[in-house]
Structure 1
Amino acid sequence: MMSRTWRIVPLIVLAPLACWAADSGESPPARLVSFAELERRLGEPTLRVLDARPKADYDKGHIPGAVWVDARAVATMAVKNPGVLTDRKAWESWLAPLGIGPKTDVLVYDANRQLDAARLWWLLGYLGVERAGLINGSFPLWVAENRPVTTEVATVEPSSVEVRFRKDRNATRAEVLAAIASKSALIVDARSRGEYDGIEKRAKRGGHIPAACHLEWSDLVGKDGRFLEEADLHARLAKAGVNASEPVITHCQNGGRASVNAFVLDRLGFKARNYYLGWSDWGNAEETPVDVDVASKPSP
């Protein structure tokens, strides 16, 4: 039997992505959608579901209407070419096949505890897509709950979009250095304890940004891809020394884990940016200050 093809036609894009925000000029909090809400909305013409899993997994079965996105390719884009973060044409070419329009609600899921989905959520927002959110739970959990799955491929009419970078969502190395000097923002490290302490090195130098607090991304989301309850999240943030009155810059090695933290902070109303290039940038630079845990320092 031949499988059918889902054909999704977006609304015509008449405005640049930067105009998608509310008239107040402030972005709405990050959206987290339950399985039940998503299932009710499947088939809506204004809904775009993005699948951030490997293509082979997508082909075996996915949420009906979901469009596959090569999350691994996106993850390596900035690492291989840091200048791509300001390459408007590159991102317009990446966005066009997704067919996202001004009234499209974009929801992303994965099977990797939100790591890949959160990266795409952050990038979409950075590019000016305001109507983007995550699905609270992983695809394996969706299947375990006997929710609808299909192998039918969704085809999307490409859209013409104008990317407008949201500089308030990203932090550069220079801005992190300035924040340290002026104590104008709290640096939150989403990496593992070993990376933070300098025991595990993924760059020329190991350690952490001076005065950065440690809040590993995996402490905020369960193995089933569901985020902790808000009260628990607030407790984890408070224990790490994060408070709502202080701007936050989160980072990891190259953007993904920090995007999970950024999503949680954004959703809870914190003013947060993501130092997307993270330790792959900071740890390989010569002039950046680095601290290491006392226990990890070699004996004299």
Structure 2
Amino acid sequence: MKVKSTIIWGLILVLLTSLLFGCSKNSDSNALSQSKVNLNTTPYTHPEALISAQQLYRIMNQPNLTIIDTRPRDIYEQGHIPGAICFNVKALNDPNRRGKFTSPKLLSLTIREYGVSSTDHIVVYSDNYNHAALWFFLNMYGLNVQILNGGLEQWQAQGYALDTGRVRRGYLGKFNLSNEQQKIYPTIETANVANALQQPDKVTVIDARSAEEYSGKGHIAGAINITWDHLINEDMTFKNASELTKLFHDKGITPDKQVIVYSNNAQRASFIYFVLDRLLGYPNVKVYDGFYLYWAAHKPLVKGNY
């Protein structure tokens, strides 16, 4: 009987031990799984800066909605979101100062011709990156402007209709921006960029041009090359916050430093700015107002991969 009792108690101990270890493994597994979920669902810092195709579709009848397509007019006329106006982002360049943003007065004169008012809810899109420059400029003045996440491709992926031809509103918008109305100051001048380069432990410079432009034509010394297409998924939507954070951190671009972004003009630099400032919440990001064009004409460049 004693032998039998000993065997029974031994079996009970083995069973309890296996249950305890099993629970521990399951807990560890669940914790690991949960951490992965949290990693992949880290929210954007300012998700309101984006609008999805589904969200846009639901507000298409909103009276003060203005949708702006920044693709070339011939492509726009072949098919665009219904009601979208076509805007040439070259209007953002100062006609008298190569490599500089235009003035708010000049932009106002141009954009109100399209029937756009500064009080509108503005949604911008394209099929690449150039809409980010218009978002960047309007955001400086505190306007209600969003980027369509995924652009025209996402609109079509949802099965929503396109219109052809050109949209003409037939009236002037109420759009009168001035320097005094500027809300944020996300640009940096040439002299300040040059000074910042003397503090590489505090400043990171991003060259947003293509790898060929970066290594072949030359770049600002120490600039890190990151292209806009590395920040999006195959369906043209932005990568999630965790993926974007890892991408920048792996390049040594962290939020404890000032980040200066440049490209040939405002377009690709503004795209990188949008991701760092709006989606990831980097506190000190600037776009070089002068761009590569001005720097190349007046300052030294280096060639190669870094």
TM range (shorter): 0.7 to 0.9
Q: 2:248 aligns with which of 237, 240, 261?
A: 237
Q: Which amino acid aligns with 1:122?
A: F
- Which range moved further: 272-281 or 177-186? 177-186
Partners of 1:241 and 1:79 in 2: how far apart? 36
Q: 1:125 matched to which residue of 2?
A: 139
Q: 1:180 aligns with which of 197, 208, 232?
A: 197
- Which range moved further: 218-227 or 148-157? 148-157
Q: 2:120 matched to which residue of 1?
A: 104
Q: 2:187 aligns with which of 170, 173, 184?
A: 170
- Residue-pair matches, total: 254
Query: SS of 1:283's equivalent?
Result: helix
How far the C-alpha of 1:272 sits from its partner, in A, is 1.2
Q: 1:51 aligns with which of 69, 77, 83?
A: 69
Give runs of aligned pairs for residues 1-300 of structure 1, distance below 5 A. 31-71=49-89, 73-74=90-91, 77-78=93-94, 81-82=97-98, 85=101, 87-111=103-127, 113=128, 115-126=129-140, 128-151=141-164, 153-155=167-169, 156-164=171-179, 165=182, 168-183=185-200, 184-197=202-215, 199=216, 201=217, 206=218, 208-267=219-278, 268-270=280-282, 271-285=284-298, 288-293=299-304
* TM value normalised by structure 1: 0.75
Q: Which amino acid aligns with 2:85?
A: V
Query: SS of 2:198's equivalent?
Result: helix
- Which range moved further: 162-171 or 44-53? 162-171
Gaps of 5+ in 1: 1-27, 296-300
Q: Deviations over 1:181-233 (max 9, x none)?
A: 24453211112223323x2x2xxxx2x22222222222112354211111111
How far the C-alpha of 1:176 sits from its partner, in A, is 0.6
C-alpha distance 129-172 of structure 1, shift in aligned 2 (>3 A):
same
Query: SS of 2:206's equivalent?
Result: strand
* TM value normalised by structure 2: 0.74
How far the C-alpha of 1:70 sits from its partner, in A, is 1.7
Partners of 1:235 and 1:84 in 2: how far apart? 32
Query: SS of 2:130's equivalent?
Result: helix
Q: Which amino acid aligns with 2:155?
A: W
How far the C-alpha of 1:264 sits from its partner, in A, is 0.4
How far the C-alpha of 1:172 sits from its partner, in A, is 1.4
Q: Which amino acid aligns with 2:210?
A: S
C-alpha distance 83-221 of structure 1, shift in aligned 2 (>3 A):
closer
Q: Which amino acid aligns with 1:252?
A: S
Gaps of 5+ in 2: 1-45
Please tell me whether the aligned partners of residues 68 and 125 of structure 2 are also in contact (alpha carbons under 8 angstroms): yes
How far the C-alpha of 1:138 sits from its partner, in A, is 2.7
Please tell me whether the aligned partners of residues 78 and 277 of structure 1 are also in contact (alpha carbons under 8 angstroms): no
Q: Which amino acid aligns with 2:293?
A: S
Please tell me whether the aligned partners of residues 91 and 102 of structure 2 are also in contact (alpha carbons under 8 angstroms): no
C-alpha distance 234-60 of structure 1, shift in aligned 2 (>3 A):
same
C-alpha distance 37-154 of structure 1, shift in aligned 2 (>3 A):
farther
How far the C-alpha of 1:64 sits from its partner, in A, is 1.9
Please tell me whether the aligned partners of residues 53 and 154 of structure 2 are also in contact (alpha carbons under 8 angstroms): no
Please tell me whether the aligned partners of residues 54 and 158 of structure 2 are also in contact (alpha carbons under 8 angstroms): no
Please tell me whether the aligned partners of residues 98 and 159 of structure 1 are also in contact (alpha carbons under 8 angstroms): no
